Amino acid sequence: MRANQPIVVGIDGTAGALRAVRWGAEEAAKRHAPLRLVHAFGIPDAFPGEAPPPEEWLADKEEQSHAWLAEARGAATVAHPGIDVSTESVMDAPVPLLIAESAGARMIVLGSTPRSVLGDLVMGSTPVALAAHAGCPVAVIRGRDRGAEAAKDPVVVGIDGSPLSDAAIGLAFEEASLRAVSLITIRAYTGRERIADANQGAVSIWREKYPDVRVQQIVARDDPRRQLLESSERAQLVVVGSRGRGGFSGLLLGSTSHAMIYHADCPVFIARSEPGK
């Protein structure tokens, strides 16, 4: 990972986006990393064929975009005056913009909000596209904003016994170490599935790398969604893999994805590749 990789936050003018900016600014300050704020004001298929948008429409959209970015910059610098903040307004659709940004980013940060074009990134099928194609982890900032109260709460990682969980485990260890808090690993399963020592090798490797992190391992015969959602009430961050099988299968492809995005009580961090690569 390059030292100058930014944390990128998608802006859409909502309160949820401003919360994502403050969260991203905090993460940038912890990592001594730059913060990049982006807004895509294009609307896909708004103008059919090769027809350019009317100049007045374009001017209004640009003006609003720059106003939102200025507001977001202000929120970031108030929270952490010393961080390096850049902004960019682009006449493009949000998903292509953020996928392109992810190629050189430490993480993409999105606010949880039910409205606006960028707000759709945390609704329906759009987070699936971003999680499937982003080149870095994706954070969705939702749940209660408990501020300093959450600073000592643990990081939680959901694992499902697949090799793809290893990336989530490594990312969770990094985040727990950075925050100086404990880590809880959760392996939930339903039916008659047998639980083996899946992912224990990855847990052991990362334990050796981060001996400062105290680990609690939970194995439960339960609905994985219930386990993660209940744990999110007492966590400052939940880390999950972008794909999987077994207990956490379909995390970003079905009901578990929706449960976490709509109902998790803390930010959700989606691992996309092995940490440090």
Report the pLDDT averaged over residues 82-110: 92
Taking alpha carbons only, the member of 132, 6, 25, 155 closest to residue 80 is 25
Share of the chain above pLDDT 90, in %: 49
What is the tens place of the pLDDT at every residue in 35-65?
999 999 876 555 555 666 778 878 898 999 9
Report for 11-20, 39-48, 110-119, 138-147: range of highest mean pLDDT? 11-20
Please state, in angstroms and rounded to a whole number, the distance separating the CA atoms of residues 190 and 169: 21
Residue 5 is predicted with a pLDDT of 95
* Domain parsing of the chain, residue ranges: 7-141, 147-271
CATH number for region 147-271: 3.40.50.12370
The residue-averaged pLDDT of 125-154 equals 81
For residue 223, the model assigns a pLDDT of 86
pLDDT band at residue 185 under the 50/70/90 scheme: very high
Helices 255-263 and 224-232: angle between axes, nearest 10 degrees: 10
Cα–Cα distances (Å) from 99 to 134, 159, 236, in that order, read: 5, 25, 26
pLDDT (0 to 100) of residue 224: 84
**pLDDT over 90 at 144, yes or no:** no
What is the predicted pLDDT for the residue at 252? 45
Question: Which CATH class name applies to 7-141?
Answer: alpha beta
Residues β-bridged to residue 90: 40
- pLDDT of 240 reads 87
CB 112 within 8 A of CB 12: no
Residues forming beta bridges with residue 108, ordered by sequence position:
8, 138
Query: What's the chain's average pLDDT?
Result: 82
Alpha helices in the chain (DSSP H): 15-31, 55-79, 94-102, 126-133, 165-179, 200-209, 224-232, 255-263
pLDDT tens, residue by residue, 216-238: 999 888 888 899 999 999 999 99
Q: CA nearest 99: which of 212, 160, 8, 216?
A: 8
Q: How far apart are CA 69 and CA 165, in angstroms?
A: 35
Which residue type sits at 61? Answer: K
Residues in the chain: 277
pLDDT at 254 over 50: no
Tokens of 50: 């090769």
CATH topology identical between 7-141 and 147-271:
yes
Q: In the prediction, which pLDDT does 246 show?
A: 44
User: Percentage helix, strand, coil, to 5, in the chain?
Assistant: 40, 20, 40
116: which residues sit within 8 A by CB, 6+ positions away? 12, 13, 14
Residue % of the chain over a pLDDT of 70: 78
pLDDT interval class at 258 (50, 70, 90): low
What span, in angstroms and rounded, lies between the C-alpha atoms of 273 and 277?
A: 7
| pLDDT number for residue 250 | 46
pLDDT(241) > 70: yes
pLDDT of residue 157: 93
pTM of the complete model beyond 0.85:
yes
What was the pLDDT predicted at 129? Answer: 67
End-to-end CA distance of the chain: 6
